[in-house]
Each structure stands twice: as C-alpha cells, then as structure tokens.
Structure 1
C-alpha cells in the first residue's frame, strides 16, 4: 500500500486494483468465520441437517427440535424488553443546556431512523452470528436533499477487516460489500457501462429457493485511514464496482483534505456476544448449543422410529408357511387363508421393544443441559421449581436467573453509547441548518425544540493579555438506561413501592426513620423516593407549625371577644375552625403517603 503515501493523487484504477488485492487477503483471513456464519443461519432455521454430507439415515425423516431456537428467541425478547434510551451529561457547566437538548433530541433522531427495527435486527444477528454490527452514516439524500443521519443493521458476512486486529479502528482498510442490480447501477453511474461482468465473489446464505445472481454485481464500499500533512489520521471513502471507481472522497475537492467524516472513525460499531481474542467478532449461542442440539435431534429421530415400529404389527414369515401375504397385509380382511399347517418356526409376530425409561431420562438430561448452557432455565421464563410458592421467593429466583441477560444488555448498552457518540459527531459536522424536533413529555404534552450544530461546535476561549486561549469543543458523557422496562421489572418496582407504603415510609411523621432505612437500600429510582420522603418530612413540620400558630390565634380571638356572650361564641367559632382545619390536615396527612407511593410505582 506504499502507493498511497502521496495523498494528492486521485483514486483511479490502479488504486482500486491494489485495494482488491487487500480485500482478497482479508477474505482469506475471514473464510472460517464466513463459513460459520452461513452454517449458523441454517441452525437457526432448524435446517442444519443440510450441513451434513452423509445424513443419519438416507430416506428417513430428520427431525429438528426447537430447543435452540427457543433459547435464542427468549434472549431476543429480553433485549427488546430493555430497549435503550440515552441520557447526555455535560463535562462542563457551560454545556448543560446543550446536553439537556441532546437528551431530548437524540431519541427523536433514533426514532426517525427507525432504530427500534435496527436494534431488533442487530440483536438477532448478535445471537445467531455472535456479533451485531450497526452502521452510522450521513445520507445526503434524506429529508428531500437536506440530509440526515441513517442508522442501519449491517450483515457481518459482508464486512472485511485486517486479520488479527481486535478493534476495527486499528485496521488500515475496511470493506463493506453489497449485491446490487447491474442495470440500476449502470443507470446511476454511467462510467460503469461496459464493465458489467462481476469480478468479485462473495459468500451467500443457503436458501431453499435459491438465488439468481447473474444480473447482480458486487459493490464495494472501501473505507481507509491515511495520515495528512500534520500526521492526523483522516478517513477516506471509495465506492467501486467491477474495478471502476463510482465515487471517491479523495477525488472530491470538498473532501480531499478533510476526509469523509470529521470524527475519523469507521462508521461501524461492533457488539460481540462472547469475545474472541484478536478479533472484533465474537461467537454466539448457536456455537455453544449446536452439539447438544445435535444429540437431542438424533435421540428424537431414534425414538420416533422406535415408536412407529412398536405401533406397527410386523411378522416373521417363512417361505414354506403357505400364508397368503396380501390377505395378511390387508387389515380389513377378517380371514387369512393358509396352505398347510402353521407353527412357530414358520410364522410368528415380530415385536419391537418399547422405549426404556433410562432412554427418556437421558434425553431429558440433554435438554436440561442445553437449558443450562444457554441460561434459558424455566425460572427465567416464568416457571417455578417444586415447592416455591411465595411471590418474593419467585421474584428472587427470577432476578438471579436473569443475570446472563443483564450481562448481555450491558455490552449492548456500551455499543449503543458508541453509536450515540458517532451520531453526535455527525450532528456536529452536518447539522448546519437549524432543525426543529417535536419532543413528547412523560405526561403526553408536546413541545418543539430547535437544534443545530452551532451548539456542538468549538467555542472561542477568548484571550488573556493579548494571548489567544484557543477554542473549546463541547464534550459529553452518555449514560444508557432501559426505556422500555420488562414486565417483571415493573412488577418488582411496584411491589417495592407497596411494601414501602405498608411499612409507613411515606408517612410524614416517619420521615427520619424512613430516610435512615433508605440509606441502606438500593433499587432503581431510590433517589426520587428519598426526595419525596424528605418533602413529606418538611411538609409535616410546616403543618405542625401551622397547627400551633392557629391554636394560638384561636386563643387570642377567644380572649378578645366583647359582650356577655361574645367570648363563648368566639371560643366556639375558634374551636369549630380548629376542628375543621384538623380534619383537613388529617386528610392531607393521608394523601401525602399515597401520592408518594404512586410516584414510586411504574404502571403502564
């Protein structure tokens, strides 16, 4: 790749030919992973018997049970129950308003990019292939030519990087392949005319109906990093097909110096499930469970054959028995003719032994083994073990059984934070014009927030003594939480709120004791509960002072009455007023803990 040292040269056929050699080297290093990805797709579709050159029994049924599929489907359901939501925090006080605006705008940008579908597709691939890949791109054709951020789930089978690197950002080149219609490409890129013969092969999934790729061409998106004159790594991009350059950022005068994206990173975020050394891609649950699933399927095959043979009446018949075979095989006949005499040596039933209990126990043990290695126990799906009836015990077991899901979600949240950082960088680079986003609040009200890149770009630092201090670019931290809580999480939180209410945590007179207990507790939303208890305690003190002041005022009014019967009437009126106020205060005292408990609950 020494020809790339001179960055001023445009990208042409020679550079593309050299990139093709690099791509072929990357493909050879990723061949084993590509084969595993294709095989795993068959396992997921329960069509894995196609992988075997010599099936178990030619002409026989090859059953495929869904234990492996069920485990993966449950993992995906856990992921969708904990859909992520970003919270942007500033690193400096001056950026607090921008961070607050970003916290509201980012979910809207993700929603407009259909991120929930991308999140779902990425999780399916993460569970099947071992790695989910998300691409964050700037699409200038979106929004009627204004351009916007596009978020896509990318197929790992179509990506290539330098073998041996653990992070794709350390790879000098990165390739993304796609299969597109040749006629459409020629209409969009006239320079491709006359170069329609595909010169590159790519791995493909095995489909039952087959695919005709004769009218398709492989398009390569080539990303590469090269240093500029100052030594800073600049990201460039070239799109080529069949050896012809369709677009190159180095050939674009507007991007020749700055590169494609200012952040200088490959616009792909890898999220591996189980990490492999020296590779950005990991392995998934199918790789862990396929051997156990194979054993279960083989036993199912043998047991099905045994049951069918046991249910079917078969006979051992000698050629000298003289039995009419057609009549014997016809179960509608009541009479079977025989020539001569029958005995046990020439004719007897052939009975197949039924299934043994130890065979069924062994199969069940392999099913339990698959559940254990996948973490898909009955408890995590709502089932309970024998003898467990208490709601708190069931909740504790479910919470303990979901630790594998929580670990997977944490890795997904880390990848989601990286995606949000890339989105913010693209907003910083391309959001030149002000855009208005509709934000829907928690109570359903809508407000409109204007936002542009001006809030994200560098701010001049001013000067001191005639010396310029330079500029400061806003930097943010992203904290990810679950926007959609699972049903179990909501039930657990609601149970905690009810227990706190029943124990009197929200009674104003118990504020000090409740705060002491809450200091030793830890659950989601505890800070809001502590704040509410403190407010209840403060309100209780204020109400006590008001009661004392009103009692003093009532006594003064009673003493200042005129006339022989005024003191009695004044005292009676003050007493009635005090009693009415006490009733109101008593009602307010009950309302405070009820309102506090309602705020702590999560009801959908």
Structure 2
C-alpha cells in the first residue's frame, strides 16, 4: 500500500463526498430551475419560456416595469453603502477596537468590496438571496496573503436540504468551472483524469456556453469534532475524483482545522425568507405573474395597432378587381371587370382599442408598482397636486420603508462578514502591516497593525496563579457611509431650522437642550454637545461681565473720593479678572 492511500482524504473519501453532493443537488433542483428562469426575466428574455408555435414571427414585447423596480432597489442599496464601527466588549480592548475601526474599511477597500456589494445586491434582488464568501488568499501580496471577499453564485452552492442555516449543514460545497489545461499545469496529478464526472446547472445564454474544455472544481467544506469537543472546519479541493488539496492531509492543519473560527466562510443574505432554507425568494418571483399579464396585453395591443394601420379588403372572386393594382399603393387607377358593388367588394375595418382595455392595462401596471413598493413618489414623482417640498419629502420617507427593511438585513449580513474578516486577521496577520488611513478632513495617517493585538493575551497573575488568557471580542455597528442626496438635503434643512430657531445662541442653551431631548435625527449627539458648550461659555462670559462691572464700580467710587490708585491685592485682583475676561472672549471668537 503506497503512502497516498494512507492519507486521511483520498479517492474513497472524495467519491463519498461526490455522492453527498449529488444528494444535495437533487434537493436543490427546484431552486436551481427558479434561478435560471429568474435570470431570463431580469434580462427581459422570458418569452423564451413560452414555446408557442403561433408566436413565431410575431412581435414579443417585453416591457421594463419589472426591471425598473429592481434597478431602483439596487440604487437604494448603493446610496446606503455600509461602513463598520468596531466596539469592544471589554475595557481592555478599547485600543484594539479603535485600530480595527480604522483598518477594517481599508481592508474592505483593498478587497474591492464596493463592487462585491453591488454584484451581491443584484443577485439578492434577482434570485432572492445574495451570498458573499470571505476567504484567505495566500497568493496575494506576493505570497504574503490577504483577505479576499467574493460574490458567490448561488447556482453553484450546495448544502444539506432542510436546514435554514448553512452552519448547521455537515457539508457545504462550492463548485466552479475552470479550464482543464490550466488545472493540469497547476496540479500535474490531474493528468489522465480530464473526463468531467460532474455536471453543473448554468444560465441560458444567447450565444450558448461551451464547457467541453472545462472541468468542475469542487471546494468541499465539512465539520468534525475535535477530541476536546470543539467544532473544527476542514477543507478539501478536488476535481474529477482527484484530491488537489486537503487540510486533513496537511500536518499543520490536521488537528487545528482550516480556519480557526470553525465556520463556513459564506454569508447568506435572503431578501424574503423561506422556511427550512437559507435561501429566500426575490422580487422577480413576486412580480413575474403581473409582468406576464402586462406583456400579453402589450402584445395584443401592438397587433391591434398594426392591423388598424393597414388597409384590408373583403374581395369576392366575381368582383373582377385586379389584386396587384389594388395592393400597389403607387397606382392611382385600379381596373375592374364588370360591375362592382358592396356585396363583392368592401373594406375590412379593424376595431380600435377600447378605453377600458387601456384602463385595465394601466391598473395592472399600478398593481406591479404596489407589490414591488416602487411607487412614483419613491422616485420623485407626485400625483394629486402635491407640490410642497415638505409634503414630497414626507411621502418619499414613508414610501422608503421597504428599502430600509432590506438594508437592515444587508447590514446584519455585513456585520457577520466583518466578524469573519476579524477572525482571519486574528489567524493569518502574523507580520505587521502598514495601512494608510484617511481622516474626515482629508489628512493621511499611517497605522501599523498585526494580528497579535487580536490574539489571546495572558491575564494577570494573582498569588502565583495565572488567571487564564483573555481574547478580545468585538461588536460591529453598521452605519451608512454614502447617504442618498435626499438624506443629505434633509439633514441640511434640519441644521438650518435649528439655526433659525436660535438653538445655537448661547443664551438659549437650556431651552434648546430641552427641545433636542424630544427630537431624533442622525448626528443629534454632536448638536447637543455643541449646545452644551455654548451654554457653558455663555455662563462663563456672564460671570466675567459681572466681575468686570463690580471692578468698574470700585474704580468709579475711588475716583469720586479722590483716593489713591489701587495697589497690592486689589490691583492684582483687577488685573487677573480682566485677563480672564479677555481670554474667554478670545476663546469665544475662535
């Protein structure tokens, strides 16, 4: 028996994993079919699903109401691009949390997260579920390694049927297509095993998809229990029954596991949840029936308009009309043999569109807008004579609650992704790295960071006994980094109103704070802090003015009594009071 067969993961284990994958694929077949159909709907190519011979050669209009709804939802998501803020759970971890709050956005930017966020949102709206993968790529940075975040194709992911959380699945598979020749050059053991033993579903393309020179590469993640009872994540990459890499075959990772966090490196973000499944359904599944009715009515109306624009005739065989001259619109004279009357020749008129037909079509369009939450007011349009800016803003704010609900689920998924990133930093950031941090005012600062600050630190020793180690744990708070234009305008209007009402006048500090206690808007804590500062400065200025008035009165009394000038302690008190007053006034001017 050779050494290869003694490894924990060999051909037999891979064959067993392939059987599990086939079982998972069978349980996901209905979802895969829905994903393929939804992609056609998004590209407005859903007429390909209706194989009706009578439709060949006839117009097949596809209106973009469904596409417009999805595009608007995606625009809302990009207007509220997330930004992480790391908070410590223990006071000792405050410095590490501040460093992470500065470094984490830079890591996301280097991973091109904005593009990943955009692609995942398109899939979330089309398919009902957006999936991101958070991996450690050892080949980046010239072999030093870096965190990679990728949008995942739900069509190529498989888990145990019936679970609602992928972390509860004993196995998880991620499939991809790769060029067979490139795979052989990287892994020579694949030579002679080029016959693909797995088939994968794929989307329908106009030009077709040739996969004859490609092989299916399987990333197989599975969990095992360590002797201590801890869940350990292992990883195996295989293709055509050949093991390309297995963490259990790696002596350094056989006991430790591939990732120390022990979780599958995938985050699911479902739009509308389904029971017993981590994947949900999206807006296309909700809108497709209404969009079908609209398109069929458009098809019927287009045919009616075409028929109404053509002049047609009912012609008897005994009419004696020259048909070639009749159909030639360039002729001014048409010859007729015999007598022509209404019984043998008459124009055929096509009835025009009825008003109730147009009203019914418009009502279906309004229905589609309602069920998708894509009303006119959310796009800036108004109806019913609404012209006031405040009324339009109120309507837009009320109509955007569906978008806010979607964003909350995306932010929850983003917090999970940030947690996975922090765990990968903890495990793989062995060497110190330098990150350029750009402040709010545009200044740049270079911060040194390594995974050592995230790892377990020995606790203090009491009476010669070590109390154990402390590993920093953090919470992620997500806020919108890029706000919509409407949000910025609304906040600017709030600031102007506060200024006009005298909130920032030092004399009105107490009344302004009382009003701010009953208000709620973004950034209100900074406004309260500013008003408190203004109130404190006003009180200090009032005290200094009272002291100045008292000193001035003393000087006037002495002048009237023709007493000698102040000297000693009185002179020092007068000089110190005037100096404090001048300093306070300068600070207020700054």
Q: TM-score range by the shorter chain?
A: over 0.9
Residue 293 (structure 2) pairs with residue 295 (structure 1): yes
Q: Distance in 1 between matches of 2:360 and 2:541?
A: 70
Partner of 1:50: 48
Distance 1:536 1:55, change over 3 A: farther
Matches within 5 A, 1:464-475: 464-475=462-473
Partner of 1:509: 507
Offset at residue 333 of structure 1 (A): 1.1
Partner of 2:404: 406
Matches within 5 A, 1:257-336: 257-336=255-334
Offset at residue 546 of structure 1 (A): 2.4
TM-score of the superposed pair, with normalisation by structure 1: 0.91
Q: Distance in 2 between matches of 1:46 and 1:466?
A: 73
Partner of 2:205: 207
Partner of 1:530: 528
Unmatched runs of 5 consecutive residues or more in structure 1: 1-7, 568-573, 593-604
Partner of 1:135: 133
Offset at residue 563 of structure 1 (A): 13
Offset at residue 126 of structure 1 (A): 0.2
Offset at residue 549 of structure 1 (A): 2.7
Partner of 1:191: 189
Q: Distance in 2 between matches of 1:351 and 1:542?
A: 91
Partner of 2:106: 108
User: Is the Cα–Cα contact under 8 Å of residues 310 and 354 in structure 1 kept in the other structure?
Assistant: yes
Residue 533 (structure 2) pairs with residue 544 (structure 1): no
For structure 1, which segment, 507-516 or 276-285, has the greater mean C-alpha deviation from structure 2 after superposition?
507-516
Partner of 2:422: 424
For structure 1, which segment, 213-222 or 323-332, has the greater mean C-alpha deviation from structure 2 after superposition?
323-332
Offset at residue 178 of structure 1 (A): 0.2
Partner of 1:220: 218
Deviations 1:270-317 (A, max 9, x none): 000000000000000000000000000000000011111111111111
Residue 415 (structure 2) pairs with residue 433 (structure 1): no
Partner of 2:362: 364
Partner of 1:36: 34
> Given the alignment, which residue of 67, 82, 85 partners 1:84?
82
Residue 339 (structure 2) pairs with residue 378 (structure 1): no
Question: Any idea what SS the aligned residue of 1:355 has?
Answer: coil
Partner of 1:602: none
TM-score of the superposed pair, with normalisation by structure 2: 0.94
Partner of 2:519: 521
Q: Distance in 2 between matches of 1:523 and 1:167?
A: 35
Deviations 1:135-157 (A, max 9, x none): 00000000111101000000000
Offset at residue 560 of structure 1 (A): 5.7
Matches within 5 A, 1:452-601: 452-557=450-555
Partner of 2:172: 174
Offset at residue 554 of structure 1 (A): 3.9
Offset at residue 53 of structure 1 (A): 2.5
Q: Distance in 2 between matches of 1:121 and 1:368?
A: 29
Offset at residue 330 of structure 1 (A): 1.1
Q: Distance in 1 between matches of 2:405 and 2:477?
A: 16
Deviations 1:241-266 (A, max 9, x none): 00000000011111111010000000
Q: Distance in 2 between matches of 1:324 and 1:49?
A: 41
Matches within 5 A, 1:152-163: 152-163=150-161
Partner of 1:4: none
Matched residues, number = 570
User: Is the Cα–Cα contact under 8 Å of residues 49 and 55 in structure 1 kept in the other structure?
Assistant: no
Partner of 1:71: 69
Distance 1:214 1:188, change over 3 A: same
Deviations 1:168-224 (A, max 9, x none): 000000000000000000000000000011111000010001111110000000000
Q: Distance in 2 between matches of 1:376 and 1:188?
A: 49
The alignment yields a C-alpha RMSD, in angstroms, of 2.1
User: Is the Cα–Cα contact under 8 Å of residues 177 and 221 in structure 1 kept in the other structure?
Assistant: yes
Q: Distance in 2 between matches of 1:335 and 1:155?
A: 67
Q: Distance in 2 between matches of 1:423 and 1:588?
A: 45
Unmatched runs of 5 consecutive residues or more in structure 2: 1-5, 566-573
Offset at residue 551 of structure 1 (A): 3.1
Question: Any idea what SS the aligned residue of 2:289 has?
Answer: helix
Offset at residue 58 of structure 1 (A): 2.6
Deviations 1:497-537 (A, max 9, x none): 11111111111111111111111111111111111111111
Question: Any idea what SS the aligned residue of 1:280 has?
Answer: strand
Distance 1:106 1:559, change over 3 A: same
Q: Distance in 2 between matches of 1:104 and 1:122?
A: 25
Q: Distance in 2 between matches of 1:235 and 1:312?
A: 71
> Given the alignment, which residue of 10, 15, 33 partners 1:12?
10
